[in-house]
Amino acid sequence: AQSVSQHNHHVILSEAASLELGCNYSYGGTVNLFWYVQYPGQHLQLLLKYFSGDPLVKGIKGFEAEFIKSKFSFNLRKPSVQWSDTAEYFCALRGLFNKFYFGSGTKLNVKP
Amino acid sequence: DAGVTQSPTHLIKTRGQHVTLRCSPISGHKSVSWYQQVLGQGPQFIFQYYEKEERGRGNFPDRFSARQFPNYSSELNVNALLLGDSALYLCASSTGQTASYEQYFGPGTRLTVT
């Protein structure tokens, strides 16, 4: 079965702290993985994506993610968060027959 | 350029009724996908259409159907509404090119079934 798990449902950090959000997937085929972000009152938007090649992917606003095949993980990181990073973050997998699977999301609250 | 647009913004329906939700993709995008997002959960994939053909289907009952028109806009239809169909319905468009799969999401239609 294909699925995505995000174990951190709610994360609270102070500004300048480092961030790592976990994402694990279940899928035996070629993976296409994504991180989306939803800022308060805004649409879902793409942060970064992994298709192939370098497992360390850089996205917008200083975010990056590392694909670790042996761990079935695609964790999102940022060295120093800002108050403006307060949002909900979703990990997603494109699986067989173009089906997309989203995790349940992680709400990040950055305290100024 | 305008982003993905969806109509209506909000909708209240009664159990057993039928609903049609509409989506207009970004100009030049040929693929539209539909998602259901229940409060507290991530989006659940319903359908993907590319060039008016269904390319992907999620685990939703046959009460859910969709179509894509020659101008690439799309409709999602839900028959015999249940209380559990209350959710935010998201539409996403993409170019449809395999190398990308970058989806652009609309603001969603909030459906409440009473």
pLDDT digits (tens, 9 = 90+) for A61-87: 999 999 999 999 999 999 999 999 999
Are B57 and A94 in contact (CB < 8 Å)?
A: no
Asked if residue B98 has pLDDT above 70, the reply is no
Query: Å from B31 to nearest chain A CA?
Result: 11
pLDDT for B99:
54
Residues B38-57 have a mean pLDDT of 91
Contact A102, A92 (CB under 8 A): yes
Cβ-Cβ pairs closer than 8 A, A with B, add up to 57
How far is it, in rounded angstroms, from Cα B93 to Cα B106? 8
Residue of B nearest to A88 (CA): B42
Hey, is A96 helix, strand or coil?
Answer: helix
How far is it, in rounded angstroms, from Cα A106 to Cα A90? 7
Pairing of strands A56-58, A10-14: unpaired
Select from B43, B55, B102 the Cβ nearest to the Cβ of A102: B43
Residues linked to residue B36 through DSSP beta bridges, in sequence order:
B44, B89
Hey, is B32 helix, strand or coil?
Answer: strand
Q: What is the pLDDT of residues B20-31, one digit of tens each?
A: 999 999 999 999
Are A104 and B48 in contact (CB < 8 Å)?
A: no
How far is it, in rounded angstroms, from Cα A96 to Cα A2? 8
pLDDT for A13:
97
In the structure, what pLDDT confidence band is assigned to residue B1 with cuts at 50, 70 and 90? low
